[in-house]
Amino acid sequence: MKHRVVITGAGAVSPYGVGKDVLWENICQGKSSVAPVTLIDVSNYPTKIAAEVKGFDPFTYLEKREARKMDRFTQFAVIAANEAIADARLDLAKEDKDRIGVIIGTGIGGLDTIENQMRVFMEKGARRVSPFFVPMLIANMASGYVSILYGLRGPNSTSVTACSSGSHAIGYAFKCLQDGEAEVMITGGAEAPITNLSFAGFCAARALSTRNEKPEKASSPFDRKRDGFVMGEGSGILVLETLEHALSRGAKIYAELVGFGQSGDGYHITAPDPDGTGAALCMQRALDGAGISPDEVDYVNAHGTSTPLNDKIETMAIKKVFGPHAQKLAVSSTKSMTGHLLGAAGGVELVICSLAVKEGIIPPTINYEDPDPECDLDYVPNVARKKNIRFAISNSFGFGGTNACLAISKIEV
């Protein structure tokens, strides 16, 4: 018998600022977070917009001595984890810390640290490189810091699977709980990719939108005029527990995590499989693991990056899995508002999905103005929709052809 797994806490650092409530409020209102870039000088880049975390001061939330040892992505993760643990009302002084683990995904890790320390190395020499250089840049330090700060000795690892990193991390944490390896898992994703080198690379790949004149309109998933994704940053962290553990302490429950599917495209380093087979397999495996049929699903939080290929092929994959029911599904991309948080996307989007199920509100796809005939589903255009959601899935697809899908449900005890 597998243990049932529930979501009892949520935390976020998003382009709207710190906190899950500010994220949810803006998502429900259909507000874009995209604006001109301020973190780096983009005067020589074709793209000049991004979804930066607004007004972020780590010292407001973290002790200065510790914050200075963390890359920006780790700061995001720790702050979001602090909120998630507080939101779950998890009294760690009363818990068995051997049975609480941490798995946080990131696609890039400490790239800002790498760039800064390389500059120090080139300008001032090897002796001036920070002794914290390696611990700051490594991808597992988000998980490591959360574990260290709270003294947690359960499973501790990191998934690094490009833009599906956060969803894979949650899926692996889900399996740890199902199998009885832990009673509580702190999990999600974190990313801080708005750096000179990252921006240069994505611009060189022609992956980013260049609709600089109207930043709030630039991310337009499934719209005919979509021209690339908008880079975002932040972290989404959830507290997962076995149902037995949550009930034993009287925890509030957002939703039940019921399925996890993963697959590979086996096709190309950046382009998705053109017939959508990998994405479809991933969704089908999540449904199979949850033991639910396609026609029971009410909402799909799409990967929906606002790139020409991704949105068309994800639409195709949804049709493969859901058949005629695809036309009855509500499908939306919250990246239309948050931008694409890369390895953090899966974490932030499952926070949003959990709130959607709990509150009975489906987030919109904003900037959906010129329908693409190849993207012909109900994308919840421009305005949030009230609806009772029994089952929802959240998709994440990444470079290298890596795919992850999470299925959640309204809780029934």
Which among 176, 245, 303, 375 is annotated as catalytic?
Answer: 303
Cβ–Cβ < 8 Å for 346, 334: no
CA neighbours closer than 13 Å in the CB half-sphere of residue 125? 1
Which among 168, 203, 340, 353 is annotated as catalytic?
Answer: 340
Please say if 282 is a catalytic residue.
Answer: no
Determine which helix (DSSP H) or strand (DSSP E) holds 13, and give its type and residue range.
strand 5-14
Does residue 128 sit in helix, strand or coil? Answer: helix
Residue located via tokens 């989404």: 236
Which among 163, 176, 203, 405 is annotated as catalytic?
Answer: 163
Q: How, if at all, do strands 391-398 and 402-409 pair? A: antiparallel
Rounded CA separation 186/11 (Å): 10
228 exposure class (CB count in 10 Å sphere: 0-12, 13-18, 19+) = buried
Please say if 268 is a catalytic residue.
Answer: no
Structure letter (DSSP) for residue 234? E
Q: How, if at all, do strands 184-191 and 234-242 pair? A: antiparallel
Please say if 163 is a catalytic residue.
Answer: yes
Cβ–Cβ < 8 Å for 14, 33: yes
Rounded CA separation 10/253 (Å): 10
Which residues sit opposite 191 in a β-bridge? Answer: 234
160-182: b (≥16 Cβ within 10 Å) or e: bbbbbbbbbbbbbbbbbbbeeeb
114 exposure class (CB count in 10 Å sphere: 0-12, 13-18, 19+) = middle
Which residues sit opposite 18 in a β-bridge? Answer: 13
Among 402, 320, 388, 395, smallest CA distance to 357 is for 388
Residue located via tokens 């695809």: 326
* Count of CB atoms situated within 10 Å of the CB of 247: 14
CA neighbours closer than 13 Å in the CB half-sphere of residue 319? 14
How much is the CA Rg of the chain, to the nearest whole Å?
A: 20
Catalytic residue set: 163, 303, 340
